[in-house]
A and B are shown apart, each in its own frame.
Chain A
Amino acid sequence: MHPRQAALLRERRGFLTSCAGGIGGAALASLLGADGLLANDVSDAKAVAPGLHFPAKAKSCIFIYLVGGPSQIDLYDPKPKLAEMAGETLPGSITGDERFGALRKDTARIMPSRYKFQKHGECGMELSELLPNIATCADDIALVRSMHTDAFNHHPGELVMNTGLLRFGYPSLGSWVNYGLGSENENLPGYVVLTAGTATRAGASNWSSGFLPSDHQGLLFRNRGEPVLHLDNPRGICPTVQGNTLNAVSRLNGLNYEHVDDPSIIARIQAYELAFRMQAAVPELVDFSDEQQTTFDEYGFMRPVPDDLRGWEGGNKNTYDDFARNCLMARRLVERGVRFVNVYHSSWDHHSLLVPNLERNCSVVDQPIAALLKDLKRQGLLDSTLVVCASEFGRTPLGENKLGNTNASGRDHQPFAFSLWLAGGGIQGGQTVGQTDEFGWNIVENPIHVHDLHATILHQFGIDHERLTYRFRGRDVRLTDISGRVISELLS
């Protein structure tokens, strides 16, 4: 980056404030200044943010999303009873009147996990042998075994977990947080999305800003090659001219906004402003040469990959490195003040052939996720960074037996009792919250809805989920719709 361009960057801030009054009146000024409801200019990534409604514990969130519904029965929620009753049906009193898409409840048989669970850490958290690395972080993790959601299928399920609602067009959690708090680093997007493996069902609607201003949408980095293209000026365009061009484009767009009033023009202006600042900030962000080899090794860069990946739905041979790189990238992003990072891996939708697929998926994510937690802790960032590892739902303790098939090799979706975990960002680690019955079928203690999870995450950012609203179609809409409670047990 040319020092001249860096100097221009500083001038840009002056430009924005000075021209805002001139070109669009109050509306434009407020939109351009939409650094969030809380326009703070803090640049020390380790300082704790003041919060919107009360003091915040977390400044950033890394939301690891394992798309498709990982089996909590095989990963997080040990059920020895299932082994005793392998091949039997569940008692009718337990299953109640639940209905399923593929699984036929009346003939479905109990399918115990074939994986061993052991106690880990000082807290003695029980975790599956499939997660040996994450298990070493048990004392930092709060494991929730009593999640439930509204949606039975992936697409709506992803929307609920990300936007709180079963409908398109609503803002995602990351967008709400950015809307509420603004960016800590005006040179990078406040919300970055990283993906590995196969695609998600809901795609960009998972990180959409919905009706919120579009600069709060998640920005998807490319998962192959350069994460962000076109960072260099064309030949002959020096930083001065680039800066002038940007100013001119903003001002002329602003004049057109006065004529047509379309807020999408403001979004365009903001995109250009951010693009210009990203030209300076992104090269340094994506250049990993300042990282130690030990860091690469810890995250699992260039791990050996199994030869035969046929039939695997979790990606291809590149996915191992992609996910490791994304985890390290997530740390680098929050280190630089990016508010919200999604790290996606898909797919964990194991209706059949659960064993080989789950094992491959775990071998992709276990090491990098554990490395991320340890790295954040070592850098002193874990206290201010909330890490969540979740999916849209879990899987049934019953083998999936569509049309009475007895050779079930997978599990069906289970939205009414599943597990996820949180760490850092003021979460009390080393504890397990909530409990399911001995079959893992129903919640018997402390049911936690997705709205409760969202309320808790917002709370850690110093946001009252009932007070962070946006008027849309004549209604004050919020992330948690009309419910949600902060799970105080989770807080440290």
Chain B
Amino acid sequence: MERSIYVGLLVFGVGLCAASSYAETPSSETLNHIESVQKQSKHWAFQPIQPVQPPQVDLEAWINNDIDRFVLERLEQEGIAPSPPADRRTLIRRLYLDLLGLPPQPEDVAAFVADLDPQAYETLVDQLLDSPHYGERWGRHWLDQARYADSHGYDLDQPRPHAWRYRHWVVEALNRDLPFDQFTIEQLAGDLLPNPTNDQLVATGFHRNTLSNLEVGADPHEDRVRQTFDRTDTTATVWLGLTLGCARCHDHKYDPISQVDYFGMYAFFDSVQERDCPAPLPEETVGYPEKKALFDQQYEQILATRHNYEQHIASDRAKHWAATLPKIESAKWEPLKPYYLSASKGEDLTLQEDLSILASGPTPEDSTYTIVATSKLPIITGLRLEVLPHASLPNQGPGRDPNGEFDLSEFIVEAEPVPAEDIAIDTPTLPPAERLELLHPVASHARHDRPFRGAIYTRPGSGGWSIGQRTGERHVAVVEFRKPVANSAGTRFTITMRQGTGGWFQLIGCFRLSVTGTSLPFRVEEIKGRAADFLAVPTAQRMEEHNRVILDYFCSRDPDWLNIDNAVQTRLRLEPKNPDDTLAQTIAESKELRETRLFERGDFLRPAEVVHRATPEVLPPLKSREERPDRLDLARWIVDPANPLTARVAVNRIWQQYFGRGLVFTEDDFGLEGDQPSHPELLDWLANEFIAGGWSMKRLHKLIVTSATYQQSSKYRSDLVDSDPLNELLARQQRLRVDAEVVRDLGLAVSGLLDRRVGGPSVVLPQPTGAQDLSFNRSQPLTPSWGDGLFRRGIYTWFQRTAPYPGLMIFDAAHNNTTCTRRHRSTTPMQALHRMNDAFNFECAKALGQRLVGELPPREMDSVRVYDRMNRLYELCLSRNPREDEWPELIGLYEEHRGFYDANPQLAGEVAINMKVDLTNREAISEIATWVVLSRIVINLDEFIVRQ
């Protein structure tokens, strides 16, 4: 059996052994420590970053900058030639997608292709790095690491309405190229900087993105500990490239990170306090007082109008309405006298004098009552179920559960004609009868989530009728029959009442059934809430409060009042936002610092010895300002150039976005178990450059994208399939499917729908049907934000942790529950279904079709301009024109679909719904439908969502 893998499971630091409170220190552990020290002394990532001289190469002409020397040296060693540069159209598209996450406009492409200046490429790079959209694209990469989301997570998953303020900061900080060391310090310890600016406080929102469990019964201490674990783990993974989490419960199996090391890091975050503070955006504060005063004046005016209407008009109308309101009893009801009663679980059902039925005896968890009765009414239009209080029932009933409640899960009515002589028979056999279709189920009262209709239109998992806390009262439920029952000799009803399927003894204790012959419709409005109670009070006895509630209820259904109120609400939405309402989630240090203890097995209920703030022993020592180090010292230690990990980890993460994989493939594990760098010297050279360049991220981006390595063609190299299948040697660029947000942005950009505003709050997008059913937060459905903001970039999509927007998740967006340092890139049928059929994508296709027809209107002699529009479609979507081998295909598609829609005008009309087209012009409709279909085809191409 293979056992060598367990070697090194226990690797305790010396510090731990000395400080440990337990007696035994087996010699094996000491041996292990020596072993680990030996390992760590050799492990590349813990060595100082080395100054590196770029090597000499043979093919000097290929070199754009020093990056290429390292890459080419390796290729030359392997005898592999690099790939030729990509063509200019591919290059500009690549740059746009990588730096901005948006496609270039056709005009940008044309200008770049025509620009013969040798500096053109570099000029373009500078221009793109200056774009505000750069912060959006690279901000998203950072937000993955920051596990940014707009909700708390866990079962309840309540919203975090202020989370976006941190995202806003990230976008803005990247756009002003805040140096990475400062970027780091502000996020980890902005609150501890001397006189921190508002922005520096907002930056600490990084560590507010942890999940928090606000469920009733969740242990707040446990939740705080979990958040602190997450803050520790995330810090280690994001900046140090170490998966520290394992050491939470035990010493890290492979790496020289002991449990004490872990809790030493943990201690830095143990006294973190969460604090939401005002963080107005500059544009919000300008002119606010004036705008607010104007608003107040206008708003008060319209409020007065509404008040007048209520006082002088609505109150009279409400009185009249209440006086003439038909009652649920208005139909004439005739009680049924059952002659057969049964309860499936053996309870006793007794018919009482008033023809009500009382259940007694055992109380099973669930039961089904069957009642058979006949009626001689010639025409029967509906049925009434009364549930009645009774002294023998818990809480007076009418239910039998300990609270007097019940759950009528299913209510079935069957009917059949009976011959006259049959009516007197006492114990009939039960022949099959016709099940009646029941309409308009209404109850005088129901728990808000358990209406009577739930018992009629049953669906698996849906509940039936319950009355909630209104026990001890009579309640009434009525249904109509779709087809009235008409039998001259009488009708026999078989009524089946399934109850308590949830299994909580929720059975009906006392009830009565009646039928009516009143002509349809006899139902009355179901009045909910307190208005129903107060309407039951005789008019003369109503108090002021009663009338007020009745008036409110009346208004809520009065078209005139609703009109006025609508104007009030519309006005209210225009209220200028108080800048101080813009809050940011930040952290601060508690006044009383917590004494950190190591938790056995990571279990917060098992605190052990005290641990002091410290950084892992294997890394350079921490310099602290005071005796007791704090988060600011930690942050400065992280970005100290002597730290061997931070710069390497950071440049590797940036590199992997450009080439699909990092120089170290295990971008989240620079420890002993991680992969070796493919180009160790290049990694160190880049890290040095990064530090020497003042940690400027834009400078690093420019360095990478201006290299010849980056500009290579991504054409697949079949000659390297065996020797370098994963393109580790970088003999070509890599075709990369763009990230989920960019998939969305591309559709919006090419169709012209894109809302290019930068920053600001999140947008709740409408979800496809079925996406949110049964999600944890179904009790708090997300309300889609219609209109404004619907076409903003993917980065602004509201991220609800338990029900994230499927359009993002299908394309492998981060789950944002824990830090994500690299996304998967899958290719699945789900993606194809989404691209083809999602309503949003189809909107993009329609807008794109509209755009083509609108921008290139019919001309004399050329009414459809197929070639122009096809060229434009390709330029917009793929930044190129159709190739020679594609033209016949495309023209064929045009002709095929134009012919199809000419022959099927009603289908063309369906496509053209809500489009700007003359609906009387069949040719125009057919033409626009054709371009929608062609647009849909092109935005479904692989090339559309791939950075080549």
Contact = CB atoms under 8 A, between A and B. Distances in A.
Contact of A472 (B603, B725, B828): B725
A327 to B, nearest CB: 16
Contacts of B218: 310
Given A204-B826, A230-B834, A245-B936, A310 B9 contact: no
B768 to A, nearest CB: 5
B829 interface: yes
A416 B1 CA distance: 8
Contacts of A18: none
Given A231-B833, A260-B716, A352-B603, A151 B5 contact: yes
A219 interface: yes
A192 to B, nearest CB: 11
A245 B836 contact: yes
A402 B600 contact: yes
B608 A268 contact: no
A487 interface: no
Contact of A153 (B253, B897, B912, B943): B253
A237 B833 contact: no
B828 to A, nearest CB: 6
A101 B600 CA distance: 12
Contact of B601 (A98, A352, A447): A352
Interface string B811-839: 00000000000001011111111101111
B942 A265 contact: yes
Contact of A471 (B722, B886, B946): B722
B282 interface: no
A304 interface: yes
B432 interface: no
Contacts of A306: none
A14 to B, nearest CB: 17
A238 interface: yes
Contact of A278 (B503, B772, B833, B893): B833
Interface stretch (B185-193, B773-781, B857-865): B773-781
A200 interface: no
Contacts of B320: none
Interface string B757-790: 0000000000011111111100000000000000
A240 B929 CA distance: 14
Given A262-B716, A316-B155, A474-B722, A244 B897 contact: yes
Contact of B941 (A253, A310, A472): A253
A312 to B, nearest CB: 12
Determine the main DSSP class of B at the interface with A: loop
Nearest to A246: B836
A148 B911 CA distance: 60
Contact of B770 (A226, A242, A279): A226
A229 interface: yes
A2 interface: no
Given A236-B913, A275-B829, A101 B250 contact: yes
Interface string A93-119: 000011111100011000000000000
A99 B911 contact: no
A251 interface: yes
B529 to A, nearest CB: 29
B900 A474 contact: no
A253 B900 contact: no
A236 B770 contact: no
Contacts of B897: 241, 244
A252 B941 contact: yes
Nearest to B713: A260
A226 B771 contact: yes
A264 B837 contact: no
A455 B614 CA distance: 49
A219 B828 contact: yes
A96 B879 CA distance: 67
Interface string A296-315: 10000110100000100000
Interface string B905-928: 001111111000000000000000
A405 interface: yes
A271 B828 contact: yes
A102 B600 CA distance: 9
B883 interface: yes
A234 interface: yes
A271 B824 contact: no
A262 B827 CA distance: 13
A26 interface: no
Interface string A4-47: 00000000000000000000000000000000000000000000
B735 interface: yes
Given A231-B837, A253-B941, A316 B772 contact: no
B886 A253 contact: no
B431 interface: no
17 contacts: A98-B3, A102-B249, A211-B725, A219-B830, A229-B768, A233-B837, A235-B913, A236-B911, A237-B842, A240-B900, A246-B836, A260-B714, A260-B948, A261-B715, A404-B22, A416-B3, A474-B722
Interface of B: 1-3, 5-7, 9-10, 22, 24, 26, 28, 155, 217-218, 246, 249-251, 253, 460-461, 501, 503, 600-601, 603, 606, 608, 714-716, 718, 722-723, 725, 735, 737, 768-776, 803, 806, 810, 824, 826-834, 836-839, 842, 883, 885-886, 889, 893, 896-897, 900, 904, 907-913, 929, 933, 936-938, 940-943, 946, 948
Interface of A: 97-102, 106-107, 148, 150-153, 189, 204, 211, 214, 217, 219, 224-226, 228-238, 240-242, 244-246, 248-249, 251-253, 255-256, 258-265, 267-269, 271-272, 274-276, 278-279, 296, 301-302, 304, 310, 316, 318, 321, 351-352, 400, 402-405, 416, 447, 471-474
In order of increasing CB-CB distance, the 4 nearest A-B pairs are: A226-B770, A236-B910, A275-B832, A236-B911
